[in-house]
Chain A
Amino acid sequence: MSKQKGKQGEAQFNLGAFLTKYSMVIALVAVFILFYFLTGGRLLYAQNMSNLLLQNGYVLVMACGMLLCILTGGNIDLSVGSVICMVGGVAAVLITNKGCNIYLAIVICLALGIAAGIWQGFWIGYMRIPPFITTLGGMFIFRGIGRLVLNSKTVSVQDASFLNIFTAYIKIPGLDTDTRILSPFVVGILAVAFILYSTVSTRANKAKKGYRQNSAVADFGRAALISAALLAYCYLLCQYKGISVMLVWVVVICLIYHFITSKTAFGRYFYAVGGNEKATQLSGINTNKVYFIAYANMGFLAGLCGLLCLARIGSVNGATGTSFEMDAIGSCFIGGASAYGGVGTVPGVIIGALLLGVINMGMSIMGIGDSWQYVVKGGVLLVAVIFDVVSNRKSGK
């Protein structure tokens, strides 16, 4: 019995499979190390590490929504950047020019984002207008509305309570004082405890039911690496202002979308539609609704991003959000989403977004201009997708 278990119960560690599965993680680490040396260690300064997630927070939030669109069949939403401009513009005008209550303003803005999403989702899902065209139209329309609202000016927001909701750093009484910040560490330890607990309980559960296990080395090794990275990051946060509310927003969004895509029936429908729409339809699933929700949801997240951007930058103008959608799309594809739909995960997308973020930040620290950053980002996107396609071809998929 136990002998058999050793043979079949635990999968053997396979280096090739490991490298393929975690290729993007390895690439992220490699790029990180590369820039660590290129920047003379400055990349790892607490302030830079804190900013890495805050600067790319909006990308992560958008990418979660974009992933759902891409899952339905490689469809993208080009209008995201424009929605950000429109929503951010409305928020700024409401708060600064009209003196609107900020909570009311937030609700109005999120509703506006959802409305933009519903508008596009309706045409795409129920009228079957190609997503590329619909969202290209949206890209112009919402940008235009944004500029109309802003009256082609830059509007800034100084309302402290608004900024606090999105960008303040959390201070927990007793843990955090002006000279000493401990809350990130406490949060980090709690998270690590949870990771270890879930690893152990998953394995115990599998053993009890006699399912195939990953090797203990792989499972615990992964948990240990994630924990170590998490603790190191928390340690850095302790040295620079602590946890930002923005970070909480981003992490919560990522967790929710990870849960939806991996654990819920509704999340599975996105994979099914992308895999074979006709078969999905004949399985009694309303595929129109799946498209509709994907784009309506994207509108909602774009609206949220509009608020996050406004709070982080402090002002909005007619060009805010330009080409933001490309960052989100790039993150998805770098993170392993298939351009044909049906394949992709939220953790993958996070890795993709971080990879782009590290490259951006590393090059900025080195003082390399925007133009070169574009060239490098484009190259990375292409290489990542080429790698994906080639390795899939080899494994015969």
Chain B
Amino acid sequence: MADIILEMKSITKEFPGVKALDNVNLVVERGEIHALIGENGAGKSTLMNVLSGTYPFGTYTGDIYYNGEICQFKTLKDSEEKGIVIIHQELALIPLLTIGENMFLGNEKKNKFGYIDWDLTNNEAEKHMKQVGLNESAQTLIKDIGTGKQQLVEIAKAFSKNVKLLILDEPTSSLNDEDAKMLLDLLMEFKKNGLTSIIITHKLNEIIYCADKATIIRDGSTIETLVKGVDDFSEDRIIKGMVGRPMDDRFPAREHRVLPEVGLEVKNWTVYHPLYHEKIVDNDVSFHVNKGEVIGFSGLQGAGRTELAMSIFGKSYGTNISGELYLNGEKVDLKNPEQAIAHGLAYVTEDRKTNGLILGESIRFNTTLARLDKVCSRGVIDTTAEKNVAEEMTEAMGTKTPSVEQRIGNLSGGNQQKALLGKWMFTEPDVLILDEPTRGIDVGAKYDIYCLINKMVGDGKSVIMISSEMPELIGMCDRIYVMNEGVLRGELDAKEATQEKIMSYIISAEN
């Protein structure tokens, strides 16, 4: 008889106007890694929030059985006491506090006088850090360690709470491939010691790699649970379950018609760190993109790709930038983003929430922001024209929204990304730089965005794509540049590129 640690039975959760979860069932066995997959807005996070007590008992219907007994969690603390710990996609760490302080935040180790016992705190912290293989001092500040290590701190923190069931919400979305693999290996290691994990992720290859079972949620309902070794446990099979139809092509076909003219060329581009002026972030980088061409930039996190793009985009990153920039064969000097936009450059930022959108404002407001002059006459906004263009862009991008007056923060990730693309399409760019354009969005929305990219280059524009997902670069680009530690390590024709080849460029650079 299987040892069931968690069973969620016919969970239904409604928000005003929306049924987020409709009769969802989930069974998790002790000691397994259970993947929870589904498109954005399918209800995965909602389900986990119900489980952890973030949505307290009474706001949903259905039963939760944990270790055989029925549970009614009212707060996060209730579920944590039982050993259920959830690690959210956005890490809940405070950058200016130390690892130790973060780990026992809200749960401080006190001595008998009620003061915090720092020696005990740090000692305990380091004990748990060792469990997850994190070799740092507990007194290191969070801001001084990378995202990968921060993720480990979160897991160590979970251990400090005596975790039995660990829930990870998109743990690898901000990690590079190497760190992601390390994290997954760690989970598999813990599994041997009996830890049960539920992992929510969009990266199907990770599921194949580490999960024992995968439950697919679509539109608030559980569709099926696939078991490794029993069912067909392949990416195609999972996608079929997620979107409800087989998706033969994850990348839309495109006629590769690279024009001979060069759209953008960069020569000997060198960028220094904005704060540490001696540190070189991008060193002597040269590349070009033709009209009608998609080029990709691959590399690990911290390879200097985003910094390269931003420094080209009107020097919005770095100091002491040197090198030459040519647009349509003409040498230009772009001093600020305004000039970059005027020269037909668009940079769709990596982090749509912090750098891309004004979440509290409407789609209309966001769409026109970068080129308000297009809907203005003598500095006065023509609201009718503005509304019209916003509606046009929304339709062209396929953004799903009741109206353009909708607050952009209320949209799902995929729709936010489409709205962000719409904002930059509105600037009518000749060269579009996309920084992680499909991070954290579902398969369907990804496909739509790929189609938009194809349309751009079909019109003879140039697209530069920065992505940590190698299959995406291989599937979409004409050529791929590989960067590591601020240096261009190689250039591949996409036809002959494989993940192994790209990795070998990166790794050979490290040796």
A314 at the interface (CB under 8 A from B): no
A272 at the interface (CB under 8 A from B): yes
A160 at the interface (CB under 8 A from B): no
CA distance A212 to B403 in the complex (A): 10
CA distance A268 to B383 in the complex (A): 12
CA distance A209 to B385 in the complex (A): 11
B313: which A residues are within 8 A, CB to CB? Answer: 282
Closest to B424 in A: A283
B337: which A residues are within 8 A, CB to CB? Answer: 281-285
B407: which A residues are within 8 A, CB to CB? Answer: 397
Closest to A275 in B: B358
The residues of B with any CB-CB pair to A shorter than 8 Å are 16, 313-314, 316, 336-342, 347, 349, 354-361, 365, 369-373, 376, 379-381, 383-384, 387, 403, 407, 423
B372: which A residues are within 8 A, CB to CB? Answer: 265, 268
The one of B354, B373, B403 that contacts A265, using a Cβ cutoff of 8 Å: B373
User: Are B381 and A284 within 8 A (Cβ)?
Assistant: no
User: Are B379 and A264 within 8 A (Cβ)?
Assistant: yes
User: Are B381 and A271 within 8 A (Cβ)?
Assistant: no
A397: which B residues are within 8 A, CB to CB? Answer: 360, 407
Interface string of A242-281 (1 = CB under 8 A from B): 0000000000000000000001111010011001101111
CA distance A396 to B407 in the complex (A): 11
B403: which A residues are within 8 A, CB to CB? Answer: 212
Cβ distance B41 to chain A, nearest Cβ, rounded Å: 16
User: Are B381 and A285 within 8 A (Cβ)?
Assistant: no
A272: which B residues are within 8 A, CB to CB? Answer: 358, 361, 365, 369
User: Are A342 and B358 within 8 A (Cβ)?
Assistant: yes
A286 at the interface (CB under 8 A from B): yes
- Can you list 19 A-B pairs, Cβ within 8 angstroms, ordered by A? A211-B387, A264-B381, A265-B376, A268-B369, A268-B372, A268-B381, A276-B354, A276-B359, A279-B356, A279-B357, A284-B314, A284-B337, A284-B341, A284-B342, A284-B370, A284-B371, A286-B338, A396-B16, A397-B407
User: Are A265 and B379 within 8 A (Cβ)?
Assistant: yes
Cβ distance A211 to chain B, nearest Cβ, rounded Å: 8
Task: Tell whether A276 pairs with B365 under 8 Å between CB atoms, given A264-B380, A268-B381, A282-B316.
Answer: no
A209: which B residues are within 8 A, CB to CB? Answer: 384
A343 at the interface (CB under 8 A from B): yes
Task: Tell whether A280 pairs with B358 under 8 Å between CB atoms, given A263-B380, A263-B381, A264-B381.
Answer: yes
User: Are B341 and A279 within 8 A (Cβ)?
Assistant: no
Task: Tell whether A282 pairs with B358 under 8 Å between CB atoms, given A265-B376, A268-B372.
Answer: no
Task: Tell whether A284 pairs with B340 under 8 Å between CB atoms, given A263-B381, A265-B376, A278-B354.
Answer: yes
The one of A284, A286, A342 that contacts B361, using a Cβ cutoff of 8 Å: A342
The one of A205, A265, A266, A276 that contacts B358, using a Cβ cutoff of 8 Å: A276
User: Are B336 and A280 within 8 A (Cβ)?
Assistant: no
Task: Tell whether A275 pairs with B359 under 8 Å between CB atoms, given A263-B380, A265-B381.
Answer: yes
Closest to B337 in A: A284
List 6 A-B pairs, minimum CB-CB distance, nearest first. A275-B358, A284-B338, A283-B370, A284-B337, A265-B372, A284-B341
B376: which A residues are within 8 A, CB to CB? Answer: 264-265
A278: which B residues are within 8 A, CB to CB? Answer: 354-355
CA distance A286 to B335 in the complex (A): 11
User: Are B360 and A342 within 8 A (Cβ)?
Assistant: yes
User: Are B336 and A282 within 8 A (Cβ)?
Assistant: no
A280: which B residues are within 8 A, CB to CB? Answer: 358, 369
B356: which A residues are within 8 A, CB to CB? Answer: 279, 282
Please name 10 further chain A to chain B contacts, defined as beta carbons within 8 Å, in addition to the given A275-B361, A279-B355, A396-B16, sorted by A numbering: A263-B381, A265-B380, A271-B361, A276-B354, A276-B355, A278-B354, A278-B355, A279-B349, A279-B357, A342-B358
Closest to A262 in B: B381
A286: which B residues are within 8 A, CB to CB? Answer: 336, 338
User: Are B347 and A279 within 8 A (Cβ)?
Assistant: no
Closest to B351 in A: A278
Closest to B15 in A: A396
CA distance A286 to B314 in the complex (A): 12
A281: which B residues are within 8 A, CB to CB? Answer: 316, 337
B355: which A residues are within 8 A, CB to CB? Answer: 276, 278-279, 282
CA distance A397 to B359 in the complex (A): 10
A284: which B residues are within 8 A, CB to CB? Answer: 314, 336-342, 370-371
CA distance A69 to B389 in the complex (A): 30
CA distance A212 to B355 in the complex (A): 32
Cβ distance B271 to chain A, nearest Cβ, rounded Å: 16
B349: which A residues are within 8 A, CB to CB? Answer: 279, 282
Closest to B403 in A: A212
CA distance A271 to B364 in the complex (A): 13
B384: which A residues are within 8 A, CB to CB? Answer: 205, 209
Cβ distance B389 to chain A, nearest Cβ, rounded Å: 14
A205: which B residues are within 8 A, CB to CB? Answer: 384
A265: which B residues are within 8 A, CB to CB? Answer: 372-373, 376, 379-381
Max chain B C-beta neighbours (<10 A), residue from A278, A280, A343, A396: A278
Max chain B C-beta neighbours (<10 A), residue from A209, A280, A285: A285
CA distance A271 to B369 in the complex (A): 11
CA distance A342 to B407 in the complex (A): 13
Max chain A C-beta neighbours (<10 A), residue from B373, B380, B384, B387: B380
B347: which A residues are within 8 A, CB to CB? Answer: 282
CA distance A281 to B370 in the complex (A): 9
CA distance A272 to B372 in the complex (A): 12
Interface string of A156-173 (1 = CB under 8 A from B): 000000000000000000
Closest to B316 in A: A282
Closest to A341 in B: B360
B379: which A residues are within 8 A, CB to CB? Answer: 264-266
CA distance A343 to B358 in the complex (A): 12
B357: which A residues are within 8 A, CB to CB? Answer: 276, 279
CA distance A190 to B391 in the complex (A): 37
B336: which A residues are within 8 A, CB to CB? Answer: 284, 286
A342: which B residues are within 8 A, CB to CB? Answer: 358, 360-361
Cβ distance A252 to chain B, nearest Cβ, rounded Å: 18
Closest to B378 in A: A264
A275: which B residues are within 8 A, CB to CB? Answer: 358-361
Cβ distance B182 to chain A, nearest Cβ, rounded Å: 30
CA distance A397 to B316 in the complex (A): 31
Cβ distance B56 to chain A, nearest Cβ, rounded Å: 16
CA distance A268 to B387 in the complex (A): 15
User: Are B338 and A285 within 8 A (Cβ)?
Assistant: yes
Closest to A269 in B: B372
CA distance A182 to B143 in the complex (A): 69
Closest to A278 in B: B355
Cβ distance A261 to chain B, nearest Cβ, rounded Å: 11
Cβ distance A297 to chain B, nearest Cβ, rounded Å: 15
B342: which A residues are within 8 A, CB to CB? Answer: 284
Interface string of A355-397 (1 = CB under 8 A from B): 0000000000000000000000000000000000000000011
Cβ distance A256 to chain B, nearest Cβ, rounded Å: 13
Cβ distance B428 to chain A, nearest Cβ, rounded Å: 13
CA distance A283 to B316 in the complex (A): 11
Closest to A340 in B: B360
CA distance A266 to B380 in the complex (A): 8
Closest to B317 in A: A282
Q: Which residues of A in the span 168-219 have a Cβ within 8 Å of any Cβ on B?
A: 205, 209, 211-212
CA distance A343 to B407 in the complex (A): 13
Closest to B372 in A: A265
User: Are B358 and A279 within 8 A (Cβ)?
Assistant: yes
CA distance A268 to B371 in the complex (A): 12
Cβ distance A99 to chain B, nearest Cβ, rounded Å: 41
CA distance A209 to B384 in the complex (A): 9
CA distance A205 to B387 in the complex (A): 14
Cβ distance A138 to chain B, nearest Cβ, rounded Å: 28
Cβ distance A289 to chain B, nearest Cβ, rounded Å: 10
